[in-house]
C-alpha cells in the first residue's frame, strides 16, 4: 500500500505542477527542494522515539501524517490552482513525514525479519512492492490520460491523489497491526554529527554515507527533470509517459530475484558495484535518441541499476550500523541525503537555464549526470568491508 501511494501520488508531483502552469525547471524542483525542508523536520525523530519509547509507534504516527498530507493536494486539484509556495509547503510535509518514519521503520523491521533470511526476504518483498507501484503508476497514468482528453485533467489529479491518501491509510493500518518485539534496541543512543564524522568506530558508516551521498547528488542532476523532458520537451501523451515511468519498476521486478541471489552468493558489496556502475549508462543513454522504444530501453537500464543499488543499500545498512545507533545515524543521513538531492537538482536546473531549457540543454544535463555518477562510483572502493554480514537465506 505504501508503494501504491508512491506510484499514484509522489510520482506525479512534478506532472501536477506542470498541469498547474508552473514552468519546467520549477516543476522539477517540486520533487526535490521540499526534500530538504522535510529532512530538517524529521531531525526530531531520535527525540520522539525516546519520548514514545518505541520505533514502531513513531513510524505509525508519522505515516499517518503523510496520509493526511494528501488532503490539501486533493483540495488544490479540485480548486484548480495553488500558489507555488503552498505547493512546496504541502510536499515538504509529505516528505518530512516520510523521512521521519524511515529510520524507525528500518530499525523496527530488522527486529521482525530474522537475519538468516534477510537478503531473500527483502528481495521478495521488493518484487511485490515494485509490482504494486507499477500497477499504481499505470492506473494513475490512464486516469490522467482520460482526464486530459476530456478536458478534466485536474479532476483526474484529485482522483489519483485521493487514491494515494487512501492507500497510505491502509498502509498505516497494516503497520499498526505488526508486533513490536523490541520497541527500542538495548542501549539505543543518539550519535552526534561530530561523533559520526570523527569517531574511528564509525569509519565504515561514514565512508558508506559519503559514497551514497555522492551517488544521489550525481543522479539528481538529471532525474528530477525527466518528467519535464518527457512532457515539456518531447510532449508525450500521458499514456506513453506513464508507461515509461512504469518500465523501471517492471525491470526491478524481473531482475530482483537474480539480484537477490547475487547478494546471497557474493554479498551486498558486489551487488553495490553492479548497481553503482549501471547507473552511469542509465543517464548517458538519454542523450542518444528520442524514439519511444529507445526511451523504454533507457528506463529498463535505469530500473536494473536502481534495483541493484537499493537492495544492496538496504543490506549494507543492516551490516554496517549497529541496531542501537541505526535510528540516530539514519536520521542524520536522511538530512544530508536531502541536501545532496537538492544540490544535484540545483546544478541540473542551473545547467538547463544556462543552456536555454531546450532539447540540447537536457542532453547536457544527462551527460553531466553520467560523468558525476562515474566519479561517485569510484568512492565505493574506499568504503570499509563491514564486520557484520547477512547470512545466506536457507
Q: How far apart are CA 291 and CA 371, in angstroms?
A: 23
User: Is residue 366 within 8 Å of 221, Cβ to Cβ?
Assistant: no
Given a cut of 50, whether residue 393 has pLDDT beyond it is no
pLDDT at 372 (0 to 100)? 92
pLDDT at 168 (0 to 100)? 96
Q: How far apart are CA 85 and CA 22, in angstroms?
A: 11
3-state class (DSSP) for residue 68: helix
Q: How far apart are CA 171 and CA 165, in angstroms?
A: 10
Poorest-pLDDT segment among 131-140, 162-171, 218-227, 324-333 = 324-333
Tens digit of each residue's pLDDT (9 = 90 or more) over 77-121: 998 888 888 888 898 889 888 888 877 787 788 778 887 787 778
Tens digit of each residue's pLDDT (9 = 90 or more) over 374-385: 999 888 887 766
Domains observed in the chain: 2-382 (1.20.1250.20)
For residue 193, what is its C-alpha cell?
554529527
Poorest-pLDDT segment among 116-125, 228-237, 245-254, 274-283 = 116-125
Q: CA neighbours within 13 Å on the CB side: how many for 33?
A: 18
Give residue 388's pLDDT band: very low, low, confident or very high (50, 70, 90). Answer: very low
For residue 92, what is its C-alpha cell?
515538504
Q: Measuring CA to CA, how many Å separate 260 from each of 113, 176, 246, 310, 343? A: 16, 28, 21, 11, 32
Measured at the alpha carbon of residue 331, what is the angle toward residues 182 and 347, in degrees to the nearest 5? 155
Amino acid at each position: 500500500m505504501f508503494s501504491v501511494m508512491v506510484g499514484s501520488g509522489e510520482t506525479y508531483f512534478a506532472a501536477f505542477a506542470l498541469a498547474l502552469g508552473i514552468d519546467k525547471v520549477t516543476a522539477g524542483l517540486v520533487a526535490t527542494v521540499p526534500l530538504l525542508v522535510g529532512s530538517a523536520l524529521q531531525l526530531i525523530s531520535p527525540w520522539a522515539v525516546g519520548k514514545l519509547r518505541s520505533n514502531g509507534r513513531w513510524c505509525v504516527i508519522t505515516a499517518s501524517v503523510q496520509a493526511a498530507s494528501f488532503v490539501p493536494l486533493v483540495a488544490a486539484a479540485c480548486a484548480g490552482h495553488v500558489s507555488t509556495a503552498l505547493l512546496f509547503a504541502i510536499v515538504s510535509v509529505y516528505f518530512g513525514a516520510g523521512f521521519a518514519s524511515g529510520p524507525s521503520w528500518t530499525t523496527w523491521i530488522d527486529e521482525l525479519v530474522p537475519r538468516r533470511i534477510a537478503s531473500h526476504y527483502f528481495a521478495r518483498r521488493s518484487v511485490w512492492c515494485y509490482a504494486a507501484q507499477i500497477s499504481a503508476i499505470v492506473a494513475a497514468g490512464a486516469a490522467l490520460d482520460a482526464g486530459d482528453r476530456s478536458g478534466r485533467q485536474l479532476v483526474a489529479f484529485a482522483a489519483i491523489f485521493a487514491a494515494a491518501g487512501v492507500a497510505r491509510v491502509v498502509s498505516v493500518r497494516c503497520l499498526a497491526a505488526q508486533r513490536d518485539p523490541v520497541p527500542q534496541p538495548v542501549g539505543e543512543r543518539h550519535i552526534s554529527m561530530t561523533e559520526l564524522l570523527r569517531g574511528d568506530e564509525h569509519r565504515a558508516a561514514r565512508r558508506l554515507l559519503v559514497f551514497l551521498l555522492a551517488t544521489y547528488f550525481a543522479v539528481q542532476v538529471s532525474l528530477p527533470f525527466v518528467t519535464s523532458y518527457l512532457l515539456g520537451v518531447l510532449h508525450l501523451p500521458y499514456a506513453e509517459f506513464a508507461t515509461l515511468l512504469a518500465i523501471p519498476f517492471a525491470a526491478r521486478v524481473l531482475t530482483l530475484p537474480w539480484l537477490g541471489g547475487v547478494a546471497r552468493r557474493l554479498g551486498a558489496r558486489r551487488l553495490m558495484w553492479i548497481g553503482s556502475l549501471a547507473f552511469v549508462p542509465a543517464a548517458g543513454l538519454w542523450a542518444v535518441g528520442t524514439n519511444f522504444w529507445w526511451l523504454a530501453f533507457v528506463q529498463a537500464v535505469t530500473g536494473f541499476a536502481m534495483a541493484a543499488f537499493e537492495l544492496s543499500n538496504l543490506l549494507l545498512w543492516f551490516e554496517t550500523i549497529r541496531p542501537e545507533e541505526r535510528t540516530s545515524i539514519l536520521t542524520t543521513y536522511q538530512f544530508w541525503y536531502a541536501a545532496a538531492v537538492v544540490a544535484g537538482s540545483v546544478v541540473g536546473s542551473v545547467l538547463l537555464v544556462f543552456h536555454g531549457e531546450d532539447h540540447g540543454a537536457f542532453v547536457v544535463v544527462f551527460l553531466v549526470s553520467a560523468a558525476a555518477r562515474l566519479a561517485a562510483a569510484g568512492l565505493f572502493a574506499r568504503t570499509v568491508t563491514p564486520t557484520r554480514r547477512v547470512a545466506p537465506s536457507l
